[in-house]
Amino acid sequence: MNKKSASSKYSELDDVYGSLDLSKRLPKSQFPAEEQDPRNVFNAVRDELMLDGNSRQNLATFCQTWVDDEIRELMDLSIDKNMIDKDEYPQTAELESRCVRMLADLWHSPDPENTLGCSTIGSSEAAMLGGLALKWQWRKKRIAQGLSTDKPNLICGPVQICWHKFARYFDVELREVPLEGDRLILNAEEVLKRADENTIGVVPTLGVTFTCQYEPVKEINDALDKLQLETGLDIPVHVDGASGGFLAPFCAPELEWDFRLPRVKSVNSSGHKFGLAPLGAGWIVWREATDLPEELIFNVNYLGGNMPTFALNFSRPGGQIVAQYYNFLRLGRDGYAKIHNACYTTAQYLAREIEKLGPFEMLFDGNSKEGIPALAWKIKDGAKVSYSLYDIADKLRSRGWQVPAYSMPANREDLIIQRILVRHGVSLDLASLLVDDFKRTLEYFEKHPVSIPLSDEDGVSFNHN
């Protein structure tokens, strides 16, 4: 029976919201039996999306939320291109190779033309690949020496969750250095305390998730040099440059954190964070081709010849890579520097304005030599306020702003902080509107003191992405 004739009340000329399709609740669990009008379904699905937050006001995420028209068009042109099908789409594959070489150049590889690297879906996958390469290199060396290979460990500071995943999925002990007092990041001394013959590598983060600070890669590199001189242990470094890999080269070019340091064997970075590509772009590059163990490379035989692949995925979209290549050409070093420096200026402005409000102490104020364009603060010790940072987050959310509050990892779980990420598109003017809302929030709590402040346990959700 044609559903249109189910009731003579409805006809094909109906307005979307006057239609039979939208006269009832939409299926939520059962697989639908019948077709529906695409126009009606489209509108219903689009309306559901309204309930998501406004991404431009999401100051929690590190990921891109601003998209140029040209990128939309390139993404559209690439919607049918499967990244893995390098034979069918050789030009997309070529663009990926160019991006790898450009990144190797940007990060000072001694041999950018010939080194290896690849695109990924994000830094998480890139981190897995980097960690696997460290594990394989370590194991090969141990086997050659006739030594045991059953207890690999990896040393890091307060890392993003992808490293916890890597450690668990691939059976590596994670020696995550606990925080202590005012030290909220990794340092060389703590690395040395934990390094031994089973250490597959050290992973400093360039732009720590919690406070946004750069960890001291050079200091760690130099300490490991000294360790090698004294003990013979030769421990490589992988830098998690998820954010910093696309910031430091443009805004702190003198900072030595990359392949200028010989011990740095691989770097991961998120193209979809400060690489300014749309969601779904990550990168890993090895210092030199020999730093990626060949056992991890699969040679896939395509019609056109052998193609080395190293990835956890198979099919995936190619548009992000096309868009990334566009960005590199469109912006160049100057363009990236302009966009990111504008973000740093805005972050520093916000840090000053929020500090001026009184009850807050900045832990990181958006200094471009020390971290990413962001700010993080806590409530001053001894400040007499009724609210917690979670209350502030909750109240700001009523104006659409997402400004997360969260507790720090071990051993500073007692420290609650709040953070703002400034990205492409968070202009100084938009930031000034946020400051106005911040002031109104504090005025509101003056008038209506909080009797039971929100805490960690209230599940004020926050995503460390």
Ligand X SMILES: *Cc1c(COP(=O)(O)O)cnc(C)c1O
- Closest CB to ligand X among residues 127, 396: 127
- Closest CB to ligand X among residues 283, 438: 283
- Closest CB to ligand X among residues 190, 240: 240
As measured in angstroms, the least distance from the Cβ of 270 to ligand X is 4
Is the CB of residue 411 less than 8 Å from the CB of residue 252? no
Residue 424: CB atoms within 10 A of its CB come to: 19
Return the SS3 of 444: helix
- Closest CB to ligand X among residues 240, 391: 240
As measured in angstroms, the least distance from the Cβ of 70 to ligand X is 22
Among 419, 407, 353, 415, which residue's Cα sits nearest to residue 380? 415
Q: Which helix (H) or strand (E) holds 378?
A: strand 374-379
Is the CB of residue 174 less than 8 Å from the CB of residue 164? yes
As measured in angstroms, the least distance from the Cβ of 75 to ligand X is 18
As measured in angstroms, the least distance from the Cβ of 161 to ligand X is 8
- DSSP-assigned letter for residue 40: H
Bridge partners of 203, per DSSP, are: 156
- Closest CB to ligand X among residues 242, 379: 242
As measured in angstroms, the least distance from the Cβ of 244 to ligand X is 8
- Closest CB to ligand X among residues 247, 385: 247
Q: Which helix (H) or strand (E) holds 244?
A: none
Is the CB of residue 245 less than 8 Å from the CB of residue 296? no
400: which 2 tokens? 């659409």
- DSSP-assigned letter for residue 439: H
As measured in angstroms, the least distance from the Cβ of 278 to ligand X is 12
**Which residues contribute to the site for ligand X (CB under 6 A)?**
62, 122-124, 127, 160, 162, 205, 207, 209, 240, 242-243, 270, 282, 465
Bridge partners of 338, per DSSP, are: none
Among 64, 114, 75, which residue's Cα sits nearest to residue 325? 75
